[in-house]
Amino acid sequence: MPYEKFEFKPGELITAERMNAMQDAIKGDIQGEIETASEQIKKTGVDKATNAEKFDAKTSKEWTDALDQRYSPKVHDHEGQAVYKRYFKQLKSGQTIVLEHKLGRFPIVDTYELKSIRDSTTGDLPPIIEKFYLYYHHEERDRDELLTEDRGMVRWPWGIPLEQLLTEYDVKWELDDSLGDVINDFLDAFFKPPAVDHMEHKLSPWIEDHKEKSIGYLNKRDEWPDIRWVIKPEKVAFVPAAGTACVANDRISVIHLSYDTLAVTAELADQEKPIDLMILLRS
């Protein structure tokens, strides 16, 4: 703002009133210069520095989000992508079951027959263990046939680590819990209907001998990570078209009833013997 101009001639009386007014004018002029300089610095320095991480007024994250939208699939999405569900079901020939998966879309469906597992701990003719087997791989891989057959696959760390399954099935455990208690909690969670029908399972001799040991004890001996739950799913082969040579094979058919349900039907060559299936759904 403009201020009054002050001039004093030689011999002129200088009053206190005019001197105070002059001092106020000086202070106001100085303050105005400071504000002008601050505004200039802000425009030429601070504002530019603030915008230094932007390109065309957008941050790097804003550009990334915008580009992702260009290439992301424009689909109707209910529960997110890559939803995965697993069922263990037993079907008789001609039986149809309905699975209410509630995935909100037609999932990809794979069917596997659960083959029986063999144990070579008793005699030359190994008994059938049925469908599920919990064992200590490090010690029992050479004693139990499991997947040996003619391929020697027992040398591999076959089976799912029990600790991983406890997390998957939300089974809580502590280091001072006994192995037997943890196994019981796991079996209750694993065989909980309707996702799993009751099927026979077995604990290996080593597991039976160590059921009273604590998880902490087994962990210190580096045995806990190698306790594994074994299943043997084999891909089910669909029967060829009618009139071809292999019409006696088992046939598993899947029909999508809606976005939330599907039906599985078994037509079996041996109509007296049911089939145990692992059914995988992926959206």
Domain spans of the chain, in order of start: 1-44, 78-115+234-283, 121-231
Q: What is the rounded CA–CA span in Å between residue 90 and residue 109?
A: 16
- pLDDT score of 70: 57
- pLDDT score of 262: 95
CA distances from 222 to 10, 135, 140, 271 (A): 104, 15, 15, 47
- pLDDT score of 147: 46
- pLDDT score of 119: 58
Q: Structure pTM?
A: 0.62
- pLDDT score of 54: 61
Match domain 78-115+234-283 to its CATH number in 1.10.3470, 2.60.40, 3.40.109, 3.40.50: 2.60.40
First-last CA distance in the chain: 71
* DSSP per residue, 93-152: TT-EEEEE---SS--EEEEEEE--EE--SSSSSPPEEESEEEEEHHHHTTT--BT-TTTT
Kind of pairing, strands 160-161 and 227-230? antiparallel
- pLDDT score of 59: 73
pLDDT in tens, the chain (283 residues): 455 566 666 666 666 676 667 677 777 777 777 777 777 766 666 555 555 556 666 677 676 666 656 554 544 444 455 678 999 999 999 999 999 999 998 999 999 999 887 655 555 555 667 789 999 987 776 555 554 444 455 456 678 999 999 999 999 999 999 999 999 999 999 998 888 887 888 898 899 999 999 999 999 999 999 999 988 898 876 554 454 444 456 788 899 999 999 999 998 888 888 999 999 999 8
- Which of 114, 117, 131, 99 lies closest to 250 in space, CA to CA? 114
- pLDDT score of 155: 56
- Which of 180, 157, 158, 184 lies closest to 169 in space, CA to CA? 184
Tokens of 198: 């009751």
Specify the 3-state DSSP secondary structure of 223: coil
- pLDDT score of 77: 46
- pLDDT score of 124: 56
185-193: long-range pairs with CB below 8 Å, 24+: 186/162, 190/165
CA distances from 136 to 99, 115, 148, 163 (A): 34, 20, 16, 13
- pLDDT score of 141: 66
Q: What is the rounded CA–CA span in Å between residue 213 and residue 226?
A: 15
Q: What is the rounded CA–CA span in Å between residue 197 and residue 48?
A: 67
